[in-house]
Amino acid sequence: MKLRIGLGSCGIAAGGLAVLDTLESEIKNRGLDLEVMNTGCIGMCHNEPLVDVIEDDGRVFTYGMVTDKIALQIMEDHVAGGNPVEEHLVSATDKPAAFMDGQVRVALRNCGVMDPESIDEYIKQGGYEALTKCLTQMTPEEVIEEVKISGLRGRGGAGFPTWFKWNATRQAKGDKKYIVCNADEGDPGAFMDRSALEGDPHGVLEGMIIAGYAAGASDGAIYCRAEYPLAIRRLEIAIEQARERGMLGSDIMGSNFSFDMYIKQGAGAFVCGEETALIASLEGERGMPRLKPPFPSESGYWGKPTNINNVETFANIPWIIREGGAAFGAMGTEKSKGTKVFALAGKIKYGGLIEVPIGIPLRDVIYKVGGGIKGDRQFKAVQMGGPSGGCIPAGYLDTPVDYESIMALGAIMGSGGMVVMDETTCMVDIARYFLDFTQKESCGKCVQCRIGTKRMLEVLERICEGQGKPGDIELLEELCVMVREGSLCGLGQGAPNPILTTIKYFRDEYEAHIHDHKCPAKQCKALIEYKIDKDKCTGCTICAKKCPVNAISGDKRQPHVIDEALCTRCGTCIDVCPTKFSAVYID
Amino acid sequence: MGCCCSQGDCNVGQQSGDNIALNLLDDVIAEYRGAAGSLIPVLQKAQDIYGYLPAEVIRYIGRQMDVKPAKIFGVATFYAQFRFSPVGKYLIMLCQGTACHVNGSEKIETALSEELNIKMGETTDDGLFTLNDAACLGCCSLAPVMMINGRAYGPLTPDKARSIIKDIYAKEKEAKEGVEQ
Ligand SMILES: Cc1cc2nc3c(=O)[nH]c(=O)nc-3n(C[C@H](O)[C@H](O)[C@H](O)COP(=O)(O)O)c2cc1C
Ligand code: FES
């Protein structure tokens, strides 16, 4: 028997380290000889901390939301007594969780299964077999051909064919060439790259080394955002281990091919995810994008041919080489092959990371895998593609999730972030939120982006504050065109998308804000009032005590009232009003 | 400790009200001097050492690495990570990502501001806490999330956020009393 605990950032955030302590001390107290293995995130983040009990016959029992108390119970009943603790099981080998149903794991194949800090574990899972195959049996051209057969497209956003970029770098003239891994993952709401790096760092390294062989590069750099300290630490460990085993360094496996790499930490600028800005940042400059061409494959890092791919793109490579490009190409749709990882978050019941064949209907992602909306509320929209993406409304839930279909709706696949929204999310506020983001993150190089995003934000802010004017929607649409056309990189070009899609699908909400001074989702503070239903209020005084600005008054056991002039609309009263009364409402 | 750079006419150290031990940087500079494109890692390590980037440190790096201070300020101000004033012992980064936004990060901000009696971007008078906002921390399915000195906490409620702060205060108080005894 073996225990396994998920210690990705999400597992640790949910209290995984305390559970690990409890398990370990309990093992010691009981004098057991039992290993507790660390692993990355399996994707069921909504159930963290997760503890697996792995029986000697290979059966896996997964416990969710484990607390110290539950950990002790698992030790007592299951480990010592042999009886699984049914009420805390979220999945078992013979009873898999619905969340995992329909998933196909390629990029995430090792996440949450093995110890990411052990190269031996990785090798046991078939790791570095693909590299061995490339170096001993395949020419670089054959490797590129295999990737071409797979149909793999870049997972960083634009969906450009990976083989094409590798080949362009290979064909480019240069005495030195580079492979860069884009681990800047700036899209707020996406975390697949973090999970892949934390859960399977060797998988990404192996993909990069293979790319180096194919493209004729000798050096690799991983540009990882500083907000991911655990990912950086695990990458450092993995690089060190790979060097020790001769998977990195000179003359790898006696093949005459030499390759080494290092990590550079990002410093907190979203635009540095754009490849030319990323290169500027790697070179120690302000991370500002430049016009393409020349593409990085011709002139990139230090002016040398450079191939940049996203983390998830690299993570797919070892699988493709091992299982064959055709096996990858057999999944997905005609134009979008393979699987894609999506990060499900927001108002979804089972949030986490999922990997599914490209082309499955949006409805299946949200209702089958994600379990539907939290609190069984009404689905309103899903935001895909982050700040350059858009909101897809309920009417399009049967759209297949692939690059072309999502683009046709005005959103983008992007890196695969899906933030789900319910009827309590205000779509004008969402547009305002994203413009606030792009306006802050604009590097300032293009006038239209720098000033245009600011003007659009101002208009959205005044609409949310109830100061919107007739004609504001048209003004926004006009500005959107200018910003899109006048911006050099994807940040400015995509910035209008959150506005355009919300106007397109939720125009009535904009109009309600502007003309009726109402926020239908009851979110915009200037347009709502908190009130107490005097028939329901029993005068329990809880809200009056908790109100941070003392805006609520009333005698004990008498209905209370909120002073509109004092109320800051913080929502504390509605949160603390006992559900059996539910006397506070928003008007 | 005054200025430790080798130039005799240097008065960088004396310009400062606080004594900033510039020599703490010498190992970092020795490691990166001459390596092209290493300005950002040097600034990151400097910030690790001092907690922020004091003007003296920026000038010292410029002198030692032969880069104009204006250029260093240009790079440093571009990136959100770099700070130009000291931070508290506990740096709270409250996520402002999309998932956290739709799950009510604003209420967490209100609760933290009230509990600490500071606004976003400020540091408490006792120098213990700084409250900053952060881009997505990558734990979106545990939204709303905050990170304190590199450790993430979620999913938060206003009460949970308050009690995390209270726990740290209690721990600090205990440690202080332990020392005094
Ligand atoms: C504003 C902006 C931000 C971007 N952020 C990222 C990012 O965080 N991660 C990423 O892999 N690609 C990002 N990209 C896309 C990259 O420019 C580039 O297309 C990608 O890294 C190429 O890798 P791929 O072909 O494997 O997708 C961004 C692009 C833009 C315009
Ligand atoms: S949106 Fe807050 S952690 Fe991602």
Residues A183 and A225 sit within 8 Å (Cβ to Cβ): yes
Residue B79 — very low, low, confident or very high, per pLDDT cuts 50/70/90?
very high
Q: Mention every residue, 6+ apart, whose C-beta is less than 8 A from residue A405.
A: A399
**Cα gap B58→B46, rounded to integer Å:** 9
Q: Are B22 and B82 in the same domain?
A: yes
Gyration radius from chain A CA atoms: 26
In this complex, is the C-beta atom of B138 within 8 Å of any C-beta atom belonging to chain A?
Answer: yes
**Cα gap B151→B91, rounded to integer Å:** 10
Q: Name the residue among A388, A353, A346, A418 with its Cα closest to residue A193.
A: A353
Q: Among residues 150-169 of chain B, which lie with CB inside 8 Å of chain A?
A: 150-154, 158
Mean pLDDT of A397-404: 96
What B75-78 contacts at long range (C-beta under 8 Å, 24+ apart), as own/partner pairs, is B75/A284, B75/A285, B75/A286, B75/B39, B75/B40, B75/B43, B76/B43, B78/A269, B78/A286, B78/A287, B78/A443
Q: Are B82 and B97 in the same domain?
A: no
With H, G, I as helix, E, B as strand and everything else as coil, classify residue B85: coil
Beta strand residue intervals within A49-177, DSSP E: 51-54, 60-63, 89-92
Residue A22 — very low, low, confident or very high, per pLDDT cuts 50/70/90?
very high
Q: Are B58 and B11 in the same domain?
A: yes
Q: Are B35 and B105 in the same domain?
A: no
In this complex, is the C-beta atom of A343 within 8 Å of any C-beta atom belonging to chain B?
Answer: yes
**In this model, does residue B14 exceed pLDDT 80?**
no
Mean pLDDT of A361-377: 94
Residues A273 and A489 sit within 8 Å (Cβ to Cβ): no
Residue B10 — very low, low, confident or very high, per pLDDT cuts 50/70/90?
very low
Residue B179 — very low, low, confident or very high, per pLDDT cuts 50/70/90?
confident
Nearest to A268 among B107, B135, B139 (CB): B135
Element at A545 (helix H, strand E): helix A542-546
**In this model, does residue B72 exceed pLDDT 50?**
yes
Residue B20 — very low, low, confident or very high, per pLDDT cuts 50/70/90?
confident
- Domain end, chosen from B86, B120, B151, is at B86
Mean pLDDT of A432-448: 97
Residue among B95, B102, B110, B146 with most chain A CBs within 10 A, to mutate: B102
Residue A570 — very low, low, confident or very high, per pLDDT cuts 50/70/90?
confident
Closest residue on chain B to A438 (Cα) = B135
- The domain spanning residue B76 has which CATH number? 1.10.10.1590
CB A203 near ligand 1, within 6 Å: no
Residues A243 and A202 sit within 8 Å (Cβ to Cβ): no
CB contact under 8 A, B102 and A443: no
Nearest to A346 among B99, B110, B138 (CB): B99
Q: Are B79 and B103 in the same domain?
A: no
> Which pLDDT belongs to residue A69?
96
Q: Are B16 and B82 in the same domain?
A: yes
Q: Are B32 and B111 in the same domain?
A: no
- Average pLDDT over chain B reads 88
- Domain end, chosen from B52, B86, B120, is at B86
Dihedrals φ, ψ of B42, to 5°? Answer: -65, -45
Residue B18 — very low, low, confident or very high, per pLDDT cuts 50/70/90?
low
Mean pLDDT of B131-142: 91
- Domain end, chosen from B66, B86, B106, is at B86
Torsional sign, CA A461, A463, A469, A474: positive
Burial class (CB in 10 A: 0-12, 13-18, 19+), A252: buried
Dihedrals φ, ψ of A182, to 5°? Answer: -85, 100
Mean pLDDT of B156-178: 93
**Cα gap A158→A273, rounded to integer Å:** 12
**In this model, does residue A78 exceed pLDDT 80?**
yes
Q: Are B166 and B124 in the same domain?
A: yes
- Looking up tokens 């109830």 gives A466
Chain A: give the shortest CA distance to residue B87, in Å.
17
Task: Please report residues of B whose CB lies closer than 8 A to that of A187.
Answer: 136
In this complex, is the C-beta atom of A9 within 8 Å of any C-beta atom belonging to chain B?
Answer: yes
Mean pLDDT of A316-320: 98
**In this model, does residue B12 exceed pLDDT 50?**
no
Residue A102 — very low, low, confident or very high, per pLDDT cuts 50/70/90?
confident
In this complex, is the C-beta atom of B47 within 8 Å of any C-beta atom belonging to chain A?
Answer: no
Burial class (CB in 10 A: 0-12, 13-18, 19+), A324: middle
**How far lies A372's CA from each of A41, A326, A460, A518, B179, in Å?**
21, 34, 30, 28, 53
Which residue's C-alpha comes closest to atom 25 of ligand 1? A154
Q: A192 CA distance to ligand 1 centroid (A)?
A: 14
Task: Give the ligand with the smallest distance to the CA of A190.
Answer: 2
Q: Are B107 and B160 in the same domain?
A: yes
With H, G, I as helix, E, B as strand and everything else as coil, classify residue A585: strand
Q: Which residues pair with A355 in a beta bridge?
A: A341
> What's A173's DSSP letter?
-
A362: which 2 tokens?
Answer: 């949006």
With H, G, I as helix, E, B as strand and everything else as coil, classify residue A258: coil
Number of domains in chain B: 2
Mean pLDDT of A152-171: 96
Mean pLDDT of B42-63: 95
Cβ density class A197-211: b for 16+ within 10 Å, e for less: bbbbbbbbbbbbbbb
> Which pLDDT belongs to residue B2?
35
Which residue's C-alpha comes closest to atom 1 of ligand 2? B97
Mean pLDDT of A198-224: 98
What type of residue sits at position A339? T
pLDDT in tens, A232-271: 999 999 999 999 999 999 999 999 999 999 999 999 999 9
**Cα gap A152→A162, rounded to integer Å:** 6
List, edge to edge, every strand of the sheet that includes A178-183. Answer: A260-265, A219-224, A178-183, A306-310
pLDDT in tens, B144-160: 999 999 889 989 999 99
List, edge to edge, every strand of the sheet that includes A352-357. Answer: A352-357, A339-346, A417-422, A379-384, A390-393
Mean pLDDT of A213-218: 98
Residues A79 and A105 sit within 8 Å (Cβ to Cβ): no
Q: Say how many residues make up chain A.
A: 587
- The domain spanning residue B125 has which CATH number? 3.40.30.10
Q: Name the residue among A410, A414, A409, A460 with its Cα closest to residue A439.
A: A460
What type of residue sits at position B40? I
Which residue range is the domain that position B128 belongs to? Answer: 90-180
> Which pLDDT belongs to residue B9?
40
Q: Are B157 and B122 in the same domain?
A: yes
> Which pLDDT belongs to residue B181?
64
Closest residue on chain A to B137 (Cα) = A227
> Which pLDDT belongs to residue B17?
46
Element at B177 (helix H, strand E): helix B158-180
> Which pLDDT belongs to residue B97?
94
Q: Among residues 180-199 of chain A, which lie with CB inside 8 Å of chain B?
A: 185-191, 194-195
CB B5 near ligand 2, within 6 Å: no
pTM: 0.93
**In this model, does residue B4 exceed pLDDT 90?**
no
Q: Name the residue among A245, A288, A285, A234 with its Cα closest to residue A117.
A: A234
Residue A123 — very low, low, confident or very high, per pLDDT cuts 50/70/90?
very high
Task: Give the ligand with the smallest distance to the CA of A166.
Answer: 1
**In this model, does residue A478 exceed pLDDT 80?**
yes
Q: Are B107 and B173 in the same domain?
A: yes
Domains for chain A: give ranges and CATH numbers: 2-92 (3.40.30.10), 119-329 (3.40.50.11540), 339-422 (3.10.20.600), 427-516 (1.20.1440.230), 529-586 (3.30.70.20)
B81: which 2 tokens?
Answer: 């990570």
Which residue's C-alpha comes closest to atom 23 of ligand 1? A309
> Which pLDDT belongs to residue B3?
36
Q: Are B96 and B173 in the same domain?
A: yes
> Which pLDDT belongs to residue A205?
98
CB B93 near ligand 2, within 6 Å: no
Closest residue on chain A to B39 (Cα) = A284
Tell me whether strands A584-586 and B90-95 are parallel, antiparallel or unpaired.
unpaired
Q: B133 CA distance to ligand 2 centroid (A)?
A: 11
**Cα gap B118→B76, rounded to integer Å:** 25
